[in-house]
Amino acid sequence: MTRGLYLRDAYAREADSKVTVSRPGEVELDSTVFYPAGGGQPSDVGTLRGPDGSTLRVNRVEKREGAIVHVVEGTPLSEGALVHGSIDWPLRYAHMRYHTCLHILSGVVFHRFGSGITGGQIYPDRARMDLSLPELNREVADGVVAEMNRVVERDLPIAVRFLPREEAMKDPSLVRVARELLPDVQEVRLIDIQGFDVQADGGTHVRSSKEVGTVSLLSLENKGAKNKRLYLKLGPPISEG
Q: Are residues 206 and 123 part of one domain?
A: yes
- Maximal CA-CA distance, the chain: 60
- Can you tell me the mean pLDDT for 53-67? 93
User: For the segment 125-178, what is each residue's pLDDT rounded down to a tens digit?
Assistant: 999 999 988 888 999 999 999 999 999 999 999 999 998 877 867 776 776 554
Strand partners, 220: 230
Per-residue model confidence (pLDDT) at position 175: 67
- Write the pLDDT tens digit of every residue in 73-113: 988 889 999 999 999 999 999 999 999 999 999 999 999 99
79 & 113 share domain:
no
Domain limits for position 31: 3-87
Q: Is 46 within 8 Å of 86 (Cβ atoms)?
A: yes
- Given a cut of 80, whether residue 192 has pLDDT beyond it is yes
- Based on the fold, state whether residues 228 and 109 are members of the same structural domain: yes
Number of domains in the chain: 2
Q: Identify the weakest region by mean pLDDT among 151-155, 175-179, 184-188, 229-233.
A: 175-179
